[in-house]
Structure 1
Amino acid sequence: MKTLPALFALLLSLPGLAMAEDCKNTSDYDRARAVIQDLSRIVAPNGVQEAYAVRIGGIDQWINVRGQDKANPILLFAHGGPASPLIPTMWQFQRPMEEFFTVVNWDQRGAGKTFASHDPQAYVDTLRVERYADDAIEIAQYVRKRYGKRKVVLAGHSWGTIVAMTAALKRPDLFYAYLGVGQAINVRENERISFDYGMQQAKAHGNTEAVKEMQAIAPYPGDQPITRERIIAARKWSQYYGGMTAYRDESLYFYRAPLLSPEYNDCDRAAVNRGNEFSLGRVLPEFVDVDFSKVREFPIPVVMFMGRHDYTTPSQPTADWLARVKAPYKQGVWFEHSSHMIQWEEPGKVLASLLQYVRPLARDDAKQ
């Protein structure tokens, strides 16, 4: 039986990155990145391709903006993790979206280039859900003004759904709609479902090693604190049995994607692991208490992309919440061959669903 990479456990099985541990240059990787960089160049006359730092929430935060036509609506994406930036992995799936949206990604505080560009101890006390949400709000205001838009579409993936949903509830006037991908509704309930799935699969496969590991922390989460060690043990086997990427026992395509990213140099790649380790323990106490199940009314249109096999942020609680919430518009989309990594697993359906359900909600800023 394969064993999960140590880093897989280290990142608590939330979207994270595995890359070089130092700043050495690798010529083969450099040549491969050059090809990806050339293919990724925005050459359309009205396109936009920019990467820069902006002062947000008292620190410089790195923003990446890409799109084939500035007349298109803005899709602002909050990445997962915590501290697992999308920018060094977006080359794998984002280009088709850029024909219909101006896509804005940013490295959150404690993540990626933002982590690498400061002494993180200077803002360690600000690693709170509310501050992350305020950062999303400030970035929405900034890009709206810079690119001449009335509002933006706000999206989040995994941990980023906590950041983005909090921002949408706080400042709905800034957003045409909210899109959750791998939405977290009630973290404790998600952990229970994930653990039960892992145990059920381990027993079905006769995996005595896994059963023994999980029994050591059962009942999970129970009424015990969800510590770093417990969440590692609980998530390990549910994701081994396809709860991270459907039909796969590992997700190396994602963890190693930064090695080929033209957006990051080797020092940036090395900083991602350090940023994740820096942020994770500080965010965890608030993360495990997140509960959006009490939100009965949502102020803007809401769309949820749900992986049928997702046992990282299990989808059924999201579907249940969506069925009962009141909103100006709501739509759930099931991805039957996806787990937690929907953009990577079913990119064609992601694009089709964005065009069918999301882009029309930003009609005021969409090119006719």
Structure 2
Amino acid sequence: MSEHRLLRAIILLPLLAAPAAAQTDPFAPGREVVADINRIVTPNGVQETFEVTLGGARQVVNVRGVDRGNPILLFIHGGPGAVEMPIAWSFQRPWEDYFTVVQWDQRGAGRSYLLEDPAKLAPTLTFERYRDDAIELIEQLCKRYGKRKVVVLGHSWGSTVGLAVAAKRPELLHAYVGMGQAIDWRDNERAGMAWTIAQARQRGDVEAVKAIEALKPYPDGGSFTIDQADGWRKYAIRYGSLAAYRQNANFYLRAPRLSPEYTPADVKAWGDGSLFTIKTLWPRLADVSFKDVRRIDTPVIFLLGRHDQTTPSQLADAWLKRVSAPRKQVVWFEHSSHLPMVEEPGRTFAALLRHVLPLADERARK
């Protein structure tokens, strides 16, 4: 949630600043190696990228798995605009032995950014439209691959979309999995800012305390913008709110350079789309909240980083304790913040096998 400035600094500027003599892509050989290692070669496997139209907007979908008979897991990325398709190669391959994994570049994001006129798309960037896009996509995936239901895994901003799908159309889901789960956007900002101020005071970082205090009354009144959110997050990231024990998430944001799914032009589109969607959508999210939701009619599993203060994990944990669901579970990642799938990839994979796969394996229940 709101990594777009860091993304542009780490990925886009080096690409744009490259001298004319160095226009050949230095990462192309690495991408070829990654593509070969990750190629799906099994007889009943699936590896395809295609366009779908959701809510009138063309969007890009990537599907990978070694057996079409496996349950579908739809990964709904964060941001808004922080696509996971170009990073998935770094953590997703083991998942594909047990799930057919779907990566989706949401409207205005990543490779989908290049498909529509941003000026025409901007009025459609609403929380409800993203939720309904996800529902349409699930219905298309079920038809295309002959499934009744899917697993939805929502990460960060995507956890807002995913939880909304679970609340509105639980019959489409085997289970809902939330990672970096957001419950209430104002509460999220309030808790994150308070934690960051406390950390800054503990470290004697007077500059940070002054800068964050100056943002008030945000998030409780006045404007609600990404610039204000970035105003405290740039300090929180230094303290490990995004990646535990690290001052940045460079290891994560550099991964697209080796993605077989993304060209350098696609990486640039990722940055442009992230800036476009987050600036447009963020003010419209101020009052998005699930605090009044008391029941979700599908199993709910939260994968929470113990150190996550980007979407403070204590808020998600407290909410799930109050909610009724057919089954609910919190899995804690003691050495993660906001990115457990890359901070603790083995434990994330183990959690999917232990807690999610038994709920989703239709063949095992026959």
2:139 is the counterpart of 1:146: no
Gap runs ≥5 in structure 1 = 1-7
Aligned to 1:5: none
TM-superposition CA deviations, 1:328-359 (whole Å, max 9, x none) = 11011111000001111011111111011111
Q: Distance in 1 between matches of 2:261 and 2:202?
A: 43
Aligned to 1:308: 306
Q: Distance in 2 between matches of 1:210 and 1:72?
A: 48
Aligned ranges for residues 127-142 of structure 1 at < 5 Å?
A: 127-142=125-140
2:4 is the counterpart of 1:11: yes
* 1:196 corresponds to which of 191, 194, 197: 194
Q: Distance in 2 between matches of 1:357 and 1:14?
A: 32
Number of equivalent positions: 361
Aligned to 1:299: 297
Structure 1 window deviating more from structure 2 (43-52 vs 120-129): it is 120-129
Aligned to 1:183: 181
Q: What displacement does 1:118 show? A: 2.2
Aligned ranges for residues 96-175 of structure 1 at < 5 Å?
A: 96-175=94-173
Aligned to 2:319: 321
Aligned to 2:63: 65
Task: Find the residue that maps to 1:199 and give its secondary structure.
Answer: helix
Task: Find the residue that maps to 2:288 and give its secondary structure.
Answer: coil
Residues 97 and 22 (structure 1), Cα distance of their counterparts in 2 relative to 1, 3 Å cut: farther
Q: What displacement does 1:17 show? A: 7.6
TM-score (norm 2): 0.93
**Percent of aligned positions that are identical:** 47
TM-superposition CA deviations, 1:180-226 (whole Å, max 9, x none) = 00000011111111111111111111122212212322465343433
Is the 1:73–1:366 Cα contact (8 Å) retained in structure 2? Answer: no
Root mean square deviation of aligned Cα: 2.2
Task: Find the residue that maps to 2:78 and give its secondary structure.
Answer: coil
2:237 is the counterpart of 1:244: no
Residues 74 and 184 (structure 1), Cα distance of their counterparts in 2 relative to 1, 3 Å cut: same
2:339 is the counterpart of 1:330: no
Aligned ranges for residues 68-87 of structure 1 at < 5 Å?
A: 68-87=66-85
- Which residue identity does 2:196 align to in structure 1? G
Q: Distance in 2 between matches of 1:130 and 1:77?
A: 18
Q: Distance in 2 between matches of 1:163 and 1:22?
A: 35
Task: Find the residue that maps to 1:114 and give its secondary structure.
Answer: helix
Is the 2:8–2:271 Cα contact (8 Å) retained in structure 1? Answer: no
Is the 1:14–1:312 Cα contact (8 Å) retained in structure 2? Answer: no
Q: What displacement does 1:363 show? A: 2.7
Is the 1:15–1:84 Cα contact (8 Å) retained in structure 2? Answer: no
Q: What displacement does 1:136 show? A: 0.6
Aligned to 1:272: 270
Aligned to 2:93: 95
Residues 231 and 110 (structure 1), Cα distance of their counterparts in 2 relative to 1, 3 Å cut: same
TM-superposition CA deviations, 1:129-150 (whole Å, max 9, x none) = 1111111111101111111111
- Which residue identity does 1:72 align to in structure 2? N
**Off by >6 Å, runs of 4+ in structure 1:** 12-17
Q: Distance in 2 between matches of 1:256 and 1:327?
A: 38
Structure 1 window deviating more from structure 2 (153-162 vs 285-294): it is 285-294
Task: Find the residue that maps to 1:28 and give its secondary structure.
Answer: coil
Q: Distance in 1 between matches of 2:116 and 2:100?
A: 28
- Which residue identity does 1:113 align to in structure 2? R
- Which residue identity does 1:18 align to in structure 2? I
Residues 276 and 70 (structure 1), Cα distance of their counterparts in 2 relative to 1, 3 Å cut: same
TM-superposition CA deviations, 1:79-98 (whole Å, max 9, x none) = 00111111001011000111
2:206 is the counterpart of 1:208: yes
Task: Find the residue that maps to 1:34 and give its secondary structure.
Answer: helix
Gap runs ≥5 in structure 2 = none
TM-score (norm 1): 0.93
Is the 2:2–2:80 Cα contact (8 Å) retained in structure 1? Answer: no
Q: What displacement does 1:36 show? A: 0.7
Residues 162 and 15 (structure 1), Cα distance of their counterparts in 2 relative to 1, 3 Å cut: farther
Q: Distance in 2 between matches of 1:150 and 1:339?
A: 34
Q: Distance in 2 between matches of 1:276 and 1:284?
A: 11
Aligned to 1:29: 27
Q: Distance in 2 between matches of 1:362 and 1:306?
A: 21
Q: Distance in 2 between matches of 1:351 and 1:10?
A: 24
Residues 366 and 278 (structure 1), Cα distance of their counterparts in 2 relative to 1, 3 Å cut: farther
* 1:361 corresponds to which of 359, 362, 365: 359
Q: Distance in 2 between matches of 1:9 and 1:104?
A: 22
Q: What displacement does 1:9 show? A: 7.7
Residues 9 and 96 (structure 1), Cα distance of their counterparts in 2 relative to 1, 3 Å cut: closer
Task: Find the residue that maps to 2:178 and give its secondary structure.
Answer: strand
Q: Distance in 2 between matches of 1:291 and 1:342?
A: 24
Is the 1:13–1:235 Cα contact (8 Å) retained in structure 2? Answer: no
Q: Distance in 1 between matches of 2:224 and 2:86?
A: 30
Structure 1 window deviating more from structure 2 (260-269 vs 285-294): it is 285-294
Q: Distance in 2 between matches of 1:309 and 1:100?
A: 29
2:48 is the counterpart of 1:50: yes
